[in-house]
Structure 1
Amino acid sequence: MVTVSYYCPRCETLAELERDAALRDKCVTPEPLDGWEYLPAYELDGEIDPQERADGVELVCGASESTDEGCGEPYYLSFIRFDNGEELDPRVGTVDVNFDFLK
């Protein structure tokens, strides 16, 4: 286990999580990525591989993981996701949309 630090994207307050050394972190964003499922940070409790249960972690700035008071807003640590061996682009939705204008 290692301590990994993340900054709040709004106020740059530091949060620290105990994580497995094999990380597959993708990004930290102020809003959740479309189609990603997040575990609240308080549910991790030293969990070795949260990637098995969710696509990321929801942190609340200023909560117990934070090193300072913070802004109180949630932010999101997203893990790398794969589909059929290909890394998914978080900017592209995971829902297929087909517009058939001939009907």
Structure 2
Amino acid sequence: MTDSSSSPITVRYTCPHCDAVHSIDRAPDLADRSVTKHSQPGWEYATPDDDLEVRETADGIAFICGEDGPVTDLEGKQIEGCGRPFYLNFVRFEQGVELDPNPATYGGPRFDFNG
């Protein structure tokens, strides 16, 4: 839950498909894990149009590049965006223990070999 006494801040995320930059207001106590091309199985995503509190209590935010508001290139020039989905994944906890995405989306590939 967000602290209502804190003012939102504008945060920028880059589309992993085309490098378009998306800006969105967020609570200042960010708990971001990753930006991915695919959603995490079982995670519930808010949209950029949802209220700030709804966005911050979800498991992440699902973007559609160029359709969720204006986007820019890395230098700040307004561009179209590619129209493909991408996902901002938050850090998640269950009973006080941080959960890893399944499959992991950071640190390179993971392989589980069962003898």
TM range (shorter): 0.7 to 0.9
- Counterpart of 2:40 (choices 33, 38, 42) is 33
Q: Is the 8 A contact 1:19 1:48 kept in 2?
A: no
- Counterpart of 1:10 (choices 14, 17, 31) is 17
1:33-89 per-residue CA deviation (whole Å, 9 max, x = no partner) reads 111100111224xx156232x101011101215232111001000111001111101
In structure 2, runs of 5+ residues without a counterpart are 1-7, 73-78, 105-115
Q: Is the 8 A contact 1:19 1:49 kept in 2?
A: no
Identity of paired residues, percent?
Answer: 40
In structure 1, runs of 5+ residues without a counterpart are 94-103
Partners of 2:92 and 2:44 in 1: CA distance: 11
TM (norm. structure 1) is 0.79
TM (norm. structure 2) is 0.71
CA 1:89/1:12 → structure 2, altered by over 3 Å: closer, same or farther?
same
Q: Counterpart in 1 of 2:96?
A: 85
CA RMSD across the alignment? 1.8
1:6-32 per-residue CA deviation (whole Å, 9 max, x = no partner) reads 000010000000111110111100100
Partners of 1:40 and 1:86 in 2: CA distance: 26
